[in-house]
C-alpha cells in the first residue's frame, strides 16, 4: 500500500472565540492515498472547511488549538512543522480552492499577477505570462490575455472562482483541496472544471479532497467518502458502497433527502431538527435527538468509530454493513 498523503487520526480542535474556547472538531479520522479522490460531506457547520484548513495549519495559531490527535501530510506531522516547513507543503503539496473566492483573491493585484506569483513560489521555471494565459484558458476564461490584466472586482463571481481554480492548479499540487469548487459556476463551466480536475488527476496523479453538499458530484468524482456530523466522522468508505448502502442512520437520512440518489419518490425527506452548533453537542450519540433509530442508551453512551468491513467504518453500535438506499 502506498504511504497515505493525508492521515488524520482522532483530531480534536478548539477555536478561541472571544474569551471562550469552542470545540469544533472532536474525532476526525481521515486517510487519503495519492491520486485518490475523497469526498467530505455533511450539513453546514459540521467542520468540513475547518478540517481542510488544518491540513496546512492555515488557521492562525492564536485562533485554532489542537487538543488531541494528529495530522500528517506527506508523512509530516503538520503540528510539529515550523513556518518554513509549512511553506514547504503549502502550494506544491497541498493547494486550495476556497469556498469564498472573493476572500481568497488579493483585491489590489491583477489576477494574472496572482497566478504568476503562485507559479513563482512553487514552479519558478514555469512562471511566465504565457503559462498564466494558458491556465486562464484552461479554466474556461474567454479572452485570457485581457482578463489577466484585470483586477478581481472587474470579474464576475464565477470568473473569480475560475481564477482561483487556476491559481490552485497552476503549481500542480499533489493534493487539491476543493471546497465547494463549482457552486458559483453555471452548469457548462461546472462540467468543464470537472473535466479539468479529472484530466489533472490522470495527468499528475493529483489527489483531491472534495468538500461539497452536492452528492451527485460525490458520486461522479470521488472514490471514497467521509461523512461528518457535529465535528466527528460518523461514516466512511468507498463511495459506491456508502451511497448505495449507507450504514449510519445520519448518512441514510442525508441520502434520503436527495431524491435522485436516495431513490425517494414524492416530497423531499428533510432530516428533522437542527444540526447542534459547535460546543452545544448533546451527550451520548450526537445524532440521537434527530435519529429515527435511537434507543434510550443513545442519549447516554458515546459511540466509537468502528470497522464494519476492511474498508468501511461507522460510528453507531447498531450499524451493519449498510441498508440499501
Ligand atoms: N472563524 C471562526 N470563528 C468561530 N467559529 C468558527 C469559525 N470558523 C468556523 N467556526 C465554527 O466551526 C464549526 C465548523 O465550521 P466549518 O466552517 O468547518 O463548517 P462546514 O462544515 O465547512 O460548513 P459549510 O457547509 O456551511 O461550509 C461551525 O460551528 C462554525 O460556526
Ligand atoms: S447511536 Fe443511536 S442515535 Fe446514534 S446513530 Fe446509532 S442508533 Fe442513532
Ligand atoms: Mg465550509
Ligand 2 atom nearest the C-alpha of 299 is 3
pLDDT at position 157 is 83
Ligand 2 site, residue 301, Cβ cutoff 6 A: no
Q: Is 49 in the pocket of ligand 1 (CB under 6 A)?
A: yes
Q: Which three cell numbers stand for residue 64?
A: 485554532
- pLDDT for res 122: 86
CB of 231 sitting under 6 A from ligand 1: no
pTM reported for the whole predicted model: 0.93
Is the Cα torsion angle 221, 226, 227, 231 positive or negative in sign? negative
Length of the chain: 325
**For 236, what's the count of Cα atoms within 13 Å in the CB-facing half-sphere?**
20
In this prediction, residue 24 carries a pLDDT of 97
Q: Provide the β-strand partners of residue 294.
A: none
What the chain holds in terms of domains, given with CATH numbers, is 1-93+173-325 (3.40.50.300)
* Closest of 187, 259, 178 to residue 212, by C-alpha: 178
Contact 173, 95 (CB under 8 A): yes
CA–centroid distance, residue 319 to ligand 2 (Å): 8
Q: Which ligand is nearest to the CA of 178?
A: 3
pLDDT for residue 182:
82
- How is the chain split among helix, strand and coil, in percent rounded to 5? 35, 25, 40
Ranges of beta strands (E only) in 54-188 are: 64-73, 76-77, 94-97, 175-179
Does ligand 2 lie within 6 Å of residue 285's CB atom? yes
Contact 278 CB / ligand 1 (< 6 Å): yes
What protein residues have CB closer than 5 angstroms to ion ligand 3?
Answer: 48-49
- Does residue 277's CB lie within 6 angstroms of at least one atom of ligand 1? yes
- Ligand index nearest the alpha carbon of residue 231: 1
Instruction: Give the pLDDT confidence score for residue 158 in this predicted structure.
Output: 83
Kindly list the averaged pLDDT for each block of 10 residues, start to end, along the chain of length 325.
90 94 95 96 94 96 95 96 92 85 88 94 91 93 96 90 90 93 81 86 91 91 97 97 96 84 56 88 96 96 96 94 60
Amino acid at each position: 500500500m502506498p504511504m497515505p498523503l493525508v492521515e488524520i487520526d482522532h483530531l480534536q480542535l478548539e477555536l478561541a472565540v472571544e474569551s471562550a474556547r469552542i470545540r469544533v472538531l472532536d474525532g476526525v479520522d481521515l486517510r487519503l492515498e495519492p491520486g485518490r479522490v475523497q469526498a467530505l460531506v455533511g450539513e453546514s457547520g459540521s467542520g468540513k472547511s475547518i478540517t481542510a484548513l488544518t491540513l496546512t495549519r492555515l488557521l492562525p495559531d492564536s485562533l485554532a488549538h489542537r487538543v488531541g490527535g494528529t495530522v500528517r501530510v506527506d508523512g509530516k506531522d503538520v503540528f510539529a512543522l515550523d513556518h518554513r516547513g509549512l511553506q514547504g507543503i503549502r502550494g506544491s503539496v497541498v493547494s486550495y480552492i476556497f469556498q469564498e473566492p472573493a476572500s481568497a483573491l488579493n483585491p489590489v493585484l491583477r489576477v494574472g499577477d496572482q497566478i504568476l506569483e503562485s507559479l513563482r513560489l512553487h514552479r519558478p521555471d514555469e512562471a511566465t505570462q504565457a503559462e498564466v494565459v494558458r491556465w486562464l484558458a484552461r479554466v474556461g476564461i474567454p479572452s485570457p490575455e485581457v482578463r489577466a490584466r484585470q483586477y478581481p472586482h472587474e470579474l464576475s463571481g464565477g470568473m473569480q472562482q475560475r481564477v482561483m481554480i487556476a491559481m490552485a492548479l497552476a503549481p500542480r499540487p499533489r493534493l487539491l483541496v476543493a471546497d465547494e469548487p463549482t457552486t458559483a459556476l453555471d452548469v457548462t463551466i461546472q462540467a468543464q472544471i470537472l473535466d479539468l480536475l479529472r484530466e489533472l488527476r490522470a495527468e499528475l496523479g493529483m489527489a483531491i479532497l472534495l468538500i461539497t453538499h452536492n452528492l451527485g458530484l460525490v458520486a461522479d468524482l470521488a472514490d471514497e467518502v467521509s461523512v461528518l456530523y457535529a465535528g466527528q466522522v460518523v461514516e466512511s468508505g468507498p463511495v459506491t458502497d456508502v451511497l448505495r448502502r449507507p450504514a449510519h442512520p445520519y448518512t441514510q437520512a442525508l441520502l434520503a433527502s436527495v431524491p435522485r440518489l436516495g431513490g425517494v419518490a414524492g416530497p423531499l425527506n428533510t432530516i428533522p431538527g437542527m444540526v447542534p452548533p459547535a460546543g452545544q453537542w448533546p451527550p451520548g450519540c450526537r445524532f440521537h435527538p434527530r435519529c429515527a433509530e435511537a434507543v434510550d442508551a443513545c442519549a447516554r453512551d458515546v459511540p466509537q468509530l468502528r470497522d464494519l468491513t476492511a474498508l468501511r467504518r461507522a460510528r453507531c453500535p447498531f450499524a451493519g454493513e449498510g441498508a440499501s438506499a
